[in-house]
Structure 1
């Protein structure tokens, strides 16, 4: 029977030296960049959350925005959760994706629409 030798020292845990392949900076193909993918626009248009009315977030009144979102949420056959939750998540999604580019007046209107939505669904 062969004897198994015990190690008297531990393995080093230092870094391994690997060679990296150089990548060329030149692009293959025509050199044109692909058009940016506007996934957030696609979500608002084709999401399973709601069938939104066109231009709903551009409406002038917070009550109108809330009423439109409520109507869309209640009539949507594609949503996966409750109407209130779907409407609120779509509104929050729009606010978050607009980020700093959203004018303060519109942001305030959309924040008021959240409160109106809560009131419309009796969640107050």
Structure 2
């Protein structure tokens, strides 16, 4: 039995609208016109530009996975550290 293409493809993690927001942020960063929210300084980091694009997409309600919380990141880092020390 053959499966249709729709059944074999996975759902998008990020919506097309979110991808456009990130692309716009990256373009602005390249031009040197992308500013950070709090301080208003020019963004130079590629990762920061992506984060700004995703943040804007989240505010507009686009489909974007939830941010990893700081506590979750701390727990995984702590788990890796204890695993490393026991080895």
TM-score normalised over the length of structure 1: 0.24
The structure whose Rg is larger is: 1
Pick the structure with more helix per residue.
Answer: 2
Higher RCO (CA 8 Å, separation ≥ 6 residues)? 2
